[in-house]
Amino acid sequence: MKGKLLGLLEPVVAGLGYELVEIEFSSSGRSSLVRVYIDRTDGGGVGLDDCERASRSIGAVLDAEDPIGHEYQLEVSSPGFDRPLRTAAHFVRFAGNEARIELAAPIEGRRRFKGRLGQVEAGMVSIEVDRKEWKLPLSGISKARLVG
């Protein structure tokens, strides 16, 4: 569902002049939550007006396309201090910052890494944890956030 929502909403958000940072989707019974994180492409901060503007457009598209098929709650917010990292461009932009990364499958018996982000090359991101450099496959990352 997340991939379907990203494909549907990314052009809408970009058309408003924002970057779609991440989507979180959770469902319990007949109700779902769609949380959309946006950021400004001009480097400014996201305010309440930005979230309201994006929410109206996103809500209109979700209502028209009906990808969820049942009742849902929509939340639009800024990425905040613990910003999610989803794309290679995110990792490049925040190289040098502290991040927490979780892998879908372990490497050397380890799935969780917290350290300083390094370079992104050939589909791998480097992260320094306790003075050891790890190379993690971008495609294997299940969750990544800056440490705020």
Write out the CATH class of domain 2-77: alpha beta
**Residue 77 in contact with residue 117, Cβ under 8 Å?**
no
Q: 111 pLDDT exceeds 90? A: yes
What percentage of the chain reaches a pLDDT higher than 70? 100
Q: What is the pTM of this model?
A: 0.76
Positions of CATH 3.30.300.70 in the chain: 2-77
User: In whole numbers, what is the pLDDT of the chain averaged over residues?
Assistant: 92
**Residue 102 in contact with residue 141, Cβ under 8 Å?**
yes
Handedness of CA 89, 51, 36, 59 (dihedral sign): negative
Query: Would you give the DSSP letter of residue 45?
Result: P
Please return the burial class of 50, using the count of CB atoms within 10 Å of its CB with bins 0-12, 13-18 and 19+. buried
Q: Which fold has domain 88-146?
A: SH3 type barrels. (2.30.30)
Rounded mean pLDDT of 46-67? Answer: 94
**Residue 84 in contact with residue 22, Cβ under 8 Å?**
yes
- The reported pLDDT for the residue numbered 37 is 94
- pLDDT class for 148, splitting at 50, 70, 90? confident
Q: Nearest-CA neighbor of 56 among 76, 41, 70?
A: 76
Q: How many CB atoms lie within 10 A of CB 59?
A: 14
pLDDT digits (tens, 9 = 90+) for 62-100: 999 988 888 899 999 998 888 999 999 999 999 999 999
| Higher-confidence position of 42 and 97 | 97
Rounded mean pLDDT of 53-64? Answer: 95
pLDDT digits (tens, 9 = 90+) for 1-26: 788 999 999 999 999 999 999 999 99
